[in-house]
Structures are given as structure tokens and as C-alpha cells.
Amino acid sequence: MRNLWTRALWGGVAGITAMDIILGIGRSAGLVQLNLLGGLADLVSTSGVAYSTSGAILGFVIHLLTGVLWALLFAVVVRNLHSRHNLILGLINGLVVWLLWGLILPPLNISPQPWSLGTPNTIITLIASLVYGLATGIATSEDLLAIT
């Protein structure tokens, strides 16, 4: 079985990918009004590029890197708590991610608070964040990976 750090890294990759797919589906359905990937790309490019297809790819790479770093920080918590069953911790991690999204990203003009744009936006961004957290929780749970 891979070590905790490798599992956390891949959990972060899977979680961010799933999160961005959920957000993309929500945007396509008109339920999510924010563009997280464009906002992230806008940090290092012009607005014309940031909100294009190229910007979405750049934003995904930035989001992926931050998601992997956050997953590794989550692994530090898991290791220090000597936790083997991390589904609940993963969901708490996802909730923390969602709350930090609303507290840190708006002042940086990356994204508005996910709960400020109506109920559908709130629910979908929360679900996307919880899915990310669940992916990191599953990846760092030794008991769930023992059957593979």
C-alpha cells in the first residue's frame, strides 16, 4: 500500500478534479454563478485570457496545485491525530475548504463568497467542497484501502 503522503496527493488530485467537474456542471446548468477557475487564472494572466478556455486550463492547474497542497496539510492532521478512519475528517476538511473559500478568496477578488449568490450556488459549491474533502478522507483512510 502506498504511504500516507502519496495517497493524500492522489486524493487531492481526485478531489479537485471531481470538485471542478461538479462546479462546471453547475455553471453549465446555470446554477453556479461564480467562475473559480477564471478567478484563479486572473491572478497570473489578463482578464481576456483568464476567462477563456486557456484560462480555465490555467485555473485548473492552479486549483489542482493548491488542492494537492491542502490535501498534504490534511495528511499532516490525520497523521498527528493517528487517525485511520478519515471519512468524517474528510467531510470536515471539505467544509473548512468551503468556509475558507468564502473568507479568503473574495478579498483577493478571485471569487465571491459561495453562499452569497443564492441557494443553488450555495448548495452546489458546498457539495463540490464536501466531495473534495471526502476524496481526501477516503485516500487517507487505511481501512478503506486495505481491501484493494
Q: What are the extents of the domains in the chain? A: 4-33+66-145
pLDDT in tens, 18-77: 999 999 999 999 999 999 999 999 999 988 899 999 999 999 999 999 999 999 999 999
pLDDT in tens, 117-132: 999 999 999 999 999 9
Is 95:47 a contact under the CB 8 Å cutoff? Answer: no
125-139: b or e for each residue (b if 16 or more CB lie within 10 Å)?
Answer: bbbbbbbbbbbbbbb
Is 139:10 a contact under the CB 8 Å cutoff? Answer: yes
